[in-house]
Amino acid sequence: MHKMKILKLILVALLLSQVTLACDNNKNATENNTDENEVYQNPVVPKSLPDPTIVKAEDGFFYLYATEDIRNTPIHKSKDLVNWEFVGTAFTNETRPDFEPDGGLWAPDINYIDGKYVLYYSMSVWGGEWTCGIGVATSDSPEGPFTDHGKLFRSNEIEVQNSIDPFYIEEDGKHYLFWGSFRGIYVIELTSDGLSLEPDAEKQQIAGTAYEGTYIHKKDGWYYMFASIGSCCEGVNSTYTTVVGRSENLFGPYKNKAGQNMMENHHEVIIHKNERFVGTGHNSEIVKDDAGSDWIFYHAVDKNNPQGRVLMLDEVQWQNGWPYVDGNSPSNVKKVPVFNE
């Protein structure tokens, strides 16, 4: 009887040690974000955050900005691209840009230039294609407050109808702004601080009239122009679709796989609708995680709750020099990005 009691105690001790070890392993996996079974669900933010743009700040957080369904340009922050915290707005009612007095702040583009957070923005009223324009604001902090520096140009000044949807990029020590919405995609050179047009700079058309919301990603000697086609804002009837073309030169020509030119509105589809999500477009910058995977944000309309344009996240993979998303459509559940901190 005495031996049986000892044997039971030994078995209990072994079971307790295994439970403790399992708990420690789970804790370590959570802390290091290395659990292969950890997943996220789309939408990552089930609130309207159209036209997202993202930057990794000096404090180690990612900051995301969007068209102002929340007035004055909402700002969210995250450590892992999945869990987002609303931290405020870029402007207040007193500091918001006013060169289009009744205009909304649309399609921002955030950048870090010479120690400043530089935010390009569109300002427009719906249908005001000759009075809209693009402005710029700066801040010492990604959370703001942002100081507005006013407009860079309006449509009627630069003679490009529907001048919205800015995108900033640097190349060979020079600074450029791409923009445009269904009236051609254009580029122009900026000054070194990014706050005004380079004197005597001339605009150049880069792509045709099917596109808006452009973003250019450099990889392996190629320039990939991501853009959106279709209608952004018709609820469950939206036809927005994310497309891409590539070039060996920043200024084009950008072509599809068959060698047809984006100036003639040829491209490859990368994200289209599925049974649940429609209006899949206006993507953010691509972010690389610590495992080397690429991730992209965009917005969509969720048929299960079609209120606004919710924030979506998907992995961008590469094959034969071209980007793709699994199924060419939004995921429902996917493994989380890997960040070791």
Residues marked active site are found at 51, 212
Computed on alpha carbons and rounded to an integer, the radius of gyration of the chain in Å comes to: 23
Round to whole Å and give the CA distance between 239 and 190.
33
Residue at 338: amino acid letter: V
Strand 212-219 and strand 241-247: pairing? unpaired
Q: How many CB atoms lie within 10 A of CB 101?
A: 9
Alpha helices in 118-252 (DSSP H): 155-158
Round to whole Å and give the CA distance between 335 and 319.
20
Burial class (CB in 10 A: 0-12, 13-18, 19+), 310: buried
Q: Please, which residues have CB within 8 angstroms of residue 298's CB and are 6 or more apart in sequence?
A: 52, 242, 271, 280, 281, 282, 283, 284, 312, 314
